[in-house]
Structure formats: C-alpha cells, structure tokens
Structure 1
Amino acid sequence: MTYLVGFTRDEPLPNQNQYMEMVNLYADNEPWQIFEGANSYTRYFITPQKKQNPKWKRVSRTVGKGTWKPQGKGKEVFDNKGRLMGYVKSLKYTYGKSENKNANGEWLMTEYSLYDGYLHAREIKNKGYVICKIKKKRKPNDHNEN
C-alpha cells in the first residue's frame, strides 16, 4: 500500500521497472496475453481503474472476453496510526465464452486500492490507479520454479 501511496504522489519508486509494469489490465488483453514471454507465475502491475461512470464509485473489471470476479467483500487496510488507508480485494478471472472454460479459475488477482480520503487532494498527482498482483495457478505437472 505504501508503494501505491508513493505512486499516487508521483514520488520516485524503488525498483519500479524491475518488479512492476504500468499496464492497463482492464482493456482488451486477456491475462495469458499479458503474461506472454514471462518466466514467472506471479507479476505486479500498476493500472488505471475503469469506472463505469466517472461520477460513480462502481468499477468495471471486464477485460477482453472475460471479467475479474470479486471473491468476497475485500479487506480494509489501516496505516500505523490506525487510519483507513485502502482496500485489498481478491478476484478470479472468468472467461465469457464456453470454448475457453479451462481459463476459468486459472488466473487470480489481488487488487490494492487507496481509500479516497486517505491523501489530501493537493498530494494526488496520479489519481484512480491500483496495484494488481496477478498469479497464474500452477498445474500439478508444472516444474518451473518461478
């Protein structure tokens, strides 16, 4: 969450290019397309949230021909002073077409978002972004160590 606070304030972030990419996860690419060429089962991204309407709080999590479905309500995260800092939500990718049902449940996402009132408006340089950790579930016969 502190990484997201730093990004929102437009502060230099340690190892940003090494561990995290800026990618619009809620666009046209399916999860496996985003992972093409990667030697890892887990990757981190900074992505803009896609609001259904700019005035609403509701967020659209459609991507390509599928959607990221929430797996519960999510959890509140508090800073060391006990103030609400943000939220952590778990999501699972489901593919919209029946011909690719094997992708359902294979991709998991953890989305980290800031509470709107956590930072003062003057501190915010990059508004409406979240950090997402996407993980491809390993299959029993996978022997890759990454």
Structure 2
Amino acid sequence: MALPVPYGFTFNPKDHELIYLLLRKANGNSLPVDEHLIEECDLFGKEEPWEIFGRGTEKTRYFFAKLKKKGKSAHGSNFVRTAGKGTWKGQDGMIPIKDDQGKTIGFKKNLIYMGKGPNTHGRWLMKEYHLHGVSLQPPPKVE
C-alpha cells in the first residue's frame, strides 16, 4: 500500500532507488510511494512532450512507460522513440547504475526531444531507466 505524501515532501530519488521501484513495478508489486509521484503514460505516442509534461505542476516528472520494439524481432535492441511530431534521441550510451556493493542493477540513458518545426516549446530532456538481468533482488524491507 502506498504511503500518503506529507506536506512539503519532495520526491527526489537516486538512480538506484528508481531501479528498485522499476523492479517492483515489473514484478507486479505495489509501490511504496503515492501513485501520483510516478504515473503510467505512453511517452512514445501521438502526444508532444509539452502536452504530457504540462499536465502537472512539478518541473521534474516521473513516468512508467513501455518501450515498443521496432520490427517483428523480439530479440532486437532498437525501440520506437517517436513522440508526436518528433523523436527522442539518445545523447549517450547506456550508463550503468550500481548498488551499494558495486553490482550493476540497471542502466540509464539520456534522451533529448528533437521536434519537427519551429514551435517545439523549449528543450525537453528525459532519462530512461532499464533493469539489468532477471536475478536482481529487491532491497531489504524497512519496517
């Protein structure tokens, strides 16, 4: 069950904390945070980034989004990253995210939105997180 967000709370998770939240979501477990802090959204659809991100008041937003593979091959590593009339372009390779013991638990990729046309409403940046391996164990429960 998600805990209520107290007044004045700022959601500012570290990379490894986001990986553990993603793991919980991927395993079908409930999240220990309010569902409004990390929303489910189709970031790679028909809407422009400013239409999606403009719905909230926070400058930084968090979403769960499913990637769509290009083509029919389930083993390929290329994904569809179009959004509205533009594309999310990778700015670097996959950056490893490590736990406290130095084990790689996931990856981060920085993306920038490249819109078509002159009116792209500023610069849009996104960080995309991926799990690493299927044997990843969730962190110990804090009670």
How many angstroms apart in 1 are the aligned matches of 2:111 and 2:53?
Answer: 17
Which has the larger share of helix?
1
2:60 counterpart residue number = 42
Matches of 1:26 and 1:62 in 2, distance apart?
5
Residue among 89, 92, 97 paired with 2:109: 89
Q: Which position in structure 1 is the counterpart of 2:3?
A: none
TM-score where L is the length of structure 2: 0.72
Q: 1:70 aligns with which of 85, 90, 103?
A: 90
| Runs of at least 5 residues in structure 2 that lack an aligned partner in the other structure | 1-18, 138-143
The one-character-per-residue Cα deviations of 1:42-80 (angstroms, maximum 9, x if unpaired) are 110000011103331111211110011111113111234
Contact 1:88 1:110 in 2 (8 A): yes
Unaligned runs of 5+ in 1: 124-146
Segments ≥4 residues shifted beyond 4 Å: none
- Equivalence for 2:127: 110
Match of 1:135 in 2: none
Deviation at 1:37? 3.4
Aligned to 2:70: 52
Q: Could you say if the C-alpha distance between residues 70 and 6 of structure 1 is closer, same or farther in structure 2, counting changes exceeding 3 Å?
A: same
Judged with a 3 Å threshold, the aligned counterparts in structure 2 of structure 1 residues 65 and 32 are, in CA distance, closer, same or farther, namely same
Q: Secondary structure at the match of 2:44?
A: coil
Identity %: 33
Provide the residue aligned with 2:5 in structure 1: none
CA distance in 2, matches of 1:38, 1:19: 10
How far the C-alpha of 1:4 sits from its partner, in A, is 0.7
Q: Give secondary structure in 2 for the equivalent of 1:90.
A: strand
- 1:103: Cα distance to partner? 3.6
Matched, 1:32 2:53: no
Q: Separation in 2 of the partners of 1:16 and 1:26?
A: 24
In structure 2, what is the equivalent of residue 4 of structure 1?
22
Aligned length: 117
TM (norm. structure 1) is 0.71
